[in-house]
Structure 1
Amino acid sequence: MKIGEVGLLSNNVVGLSNFYKSFLGIDNGSNDSIHQTIIAEETMLTIYNDNSLKNNNNQNICLAFTVNDVDDEYNKLLNLGVEIIEKPTTRPWGARNMSFYDPDKNVIYLRSFIK
């Protein structure tokens, strides 16, 4: 069994999708305001509006991405104007991590492994 996709519910599908398209460097060719699918390698990120009101207090889920260089991504994120939770920090186990909020206040972690 494989996880087929990760889905984010949003009242602002276009805005959140545009953020992830910029962040991931992907153009899905869509500007749909109800449902967008963004595919990176074999993972699908779906952003959709199920017509329920979202409070954007997303405290029970996070997304984590492994990247080549956390510091490069950190600088890109500053240019996107995101709210940083934790700046890049080297962990005792050899990973370099950072975290930030996406536009809907989902917590996003980035990590890279020091070689």
Structure 2
Amino acid sequence: MNVVSIRIITADVESLVKFYEQITGITAIQYTPDFAELKTSTATIAIGSTKTLQFFGGENIAQPAENRSAIIEFLVEDVDREFDRLRDFQSYQIVQEPTVMPWGNKSLLFRDPDGNLVNFFTPVSKEAVEKFNPK
């Protein structure tokens, strides 16, 4: 089994698509006005409007901008460089500037326009580097 995608439900697809395009440098594939995907080499960020919930059993099964438990994580080459690049980008809110975590990743934590947590991280400890770059 493989994780293929994470889908974010939003009331403003256009804003979220623009945000994720800007932070990742990936152009979204906009299938309909209510659904888009940003594909990386390992997984996809899917963005669906609240209208798409009707296909999954009704609009009450998910609530946009209510995430309080998940973090969308991106492995980046240099988290400090990403932080410098994003400093002037006004569509997000910094939660934590680049900080080395006890498990060996240097992490930058911020929120997207819907309040979802996003983590850009770079492995810095020997163990973390080996975990993400096995030889």
Same-fold status (TM-score > 0.5): yes
2:120 aligns with 110
Shift of 1:66: 1.2
Alignment of 1:33-112 (within 5 A): 33-51=33-51, 52=59, 54=63, 56-81=65-90, 82-112=92-122
- State how many pairs are aligned: 115
Query: Equivalents in 2 of 1:38, 1:89: separation in Å?
Result: 27
Opposite residue 9 of structure 2, the aligned amino acid is L
Q: Confirm or deny that 1:18 pairs with 2:38.
A: no
Query: Equivalents in 1 of 2:29, 2:43: separation in Å?
Result: 17
Contact map agreement 2:17 2:28 (CA 8 A) in 1: no
Q: Which shows bigger deviation, 95-104 or 47-56? A: 47-56
Whose helix fraction is larger, Structure 1's or Structure 2's?
A: 2
| Aligned partner of residue 84 in structure 1, secondary structure | strand
Shift of 1:71: 0.7
Shift of 1:40: 1.1
Unaligned runs of 5+ in 2: 52-58, 126-135
Q: TM-score, normalised by structure 1?
A: 0.87
The 1:93/1:49 distance shift into structure 2, 3 A limit, reads closer
Q: Which shows bigger deviation, 72-81 or 86-95? A: 86-95
Task: State which structure, 1 or 2, has the greater radius of gyration over its C-alpha atoms.
Answer: 2
Q: TM-score, normalised by structure 2?
A: 0.75
Opposite residue 107 of structure 1, the aligned amino acid is L
Q: Indicate the percent of aligned positions where both proteins have the same amino acid.
A: 23
The 1:76/1:31 distance shift into structure 2, 3 A limit, reads farther
Contact map agreement 1:57 1:105 (CA 8 A) in 2: yes
Please give the root-mean-square deviation of Cα atoms over the aligned residues, in Å.
2.0
Contact map agreement 1:89 1:96 (CA 8 A) in 2: yes
